[in-house]
């Protein structure tokens, strides 16, 4: 929308620990006097630009912010074809595309290794639970040996006679 900026009143606002500047912009739009608040923290480029355009006709791009309020997203001198002075509206058009090249998914070998870790972790938990059921004092090495037995069983590496007999068709 094309407007003429009449006046910009900048005030320093202190709310608790928060400190910021607020520009109250008085402007004419289709002959009607209006005001727009521009906060220094929400769009610093627009905050600075409105102070430079006092008394001038400008082209303003208005968008809705996350709260649903109108917000000035870009401001240019009237009739200008320059790049808009905005940090929020122009960022997506000026920034290069952020397309991911390649895959972010696990490779088959990474998935296989993760499955081994999961089996080992659950086998250690099972070995600790078994030792607790037996109510015997066991060493760390005995827990690890029992856990390795469970891991071997899960992956079919049971080398006992009973294990070999159960694997045959």
Digit-coded pLDDT (tens) for 115-143: 999 999 999 999 888 888 877 788 899 99
**Scanning the structure block, which residue is given the tokens 């002075």?**
85
| Full residue range of the structural domain in which residue 115 is found | 108-167
Domain boundary among the residues 93, 126, 150 is at: 93
For residues 114 and 70, membership in a common domain is answered with: no
Range of 60-69, 117-126, 152-161 with top mean pLDDT = 117-126
Strand partners, 9: 24
* pLDDT at residue 68, rounded to an integer: 80
- What's the structural domain count of the chain? 2
Strands (E) across the chain are located at 2-15, 18-29, 32-39, 57-64, 70-77
For residues 69 and 13, membership in a common domain is answered with: yes
For residues 54 and 16, membership in a common domain is answered with: yes
Residue 158 in this model has a pLDDT that exceeds 60: yes
For residues 86 and 123, membership in a common domain is answered with: no
29: nearest Cα among 50, 1, 53, 7: 1
Query: By the 8 A CB rule, do 20 and 77 touch?
Result: no
Q: Does residue 124 lie in a domain region?
A: yes
Q: Does residue 45 lie in a domain region?
A: yes
Whether the pTM exceeds 0.95: the reply is no
- Higher pLDDT, residue 110 or 164: 110
Q: Does residue 154 lie in a domain region?
A: yes
For residues 120 and 76, membership in a common domain is answered with: no
Average pLDDT over residues 49-78: 84
Q: Does residue 101 lie in a domain region?
A: no
């Amino acid at each position: 929308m094309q407007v003429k900026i009449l006046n910009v009143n900048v005030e320093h606002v202190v709310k608790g620990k928060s400190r910021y500047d607020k520009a109250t912009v008085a402007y004419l739009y289709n002959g009607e006097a209006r005001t727009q608040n521009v906060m220094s923290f929400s769009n610093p480029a627009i905050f600075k630009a409105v102070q430079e355009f006092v008394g001038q006709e400008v082209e303003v791009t208005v968008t809705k912010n996350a709260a649903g309020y109108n917000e000035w997203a870009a401001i240019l001198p009237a009739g200008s074809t320059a790049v808009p002075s905005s940090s929020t509206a122009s960022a997506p058009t000026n920034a290069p595309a952020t397309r991911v090249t390649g895959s972010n998914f696990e490779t088959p070998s990474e998935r296989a290794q993760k499955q081994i870790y999961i089996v080992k972790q659950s086998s250690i938990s099972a070995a600790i639970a078994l030792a607790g059921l037996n109510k015997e004092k066991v060493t760390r090495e005995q827990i690890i040996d029992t856990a390795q037995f469970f891991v071997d069983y899960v992956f079919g590496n049971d080398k006992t006679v009973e294990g070999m007999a159960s694997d045959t068709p």
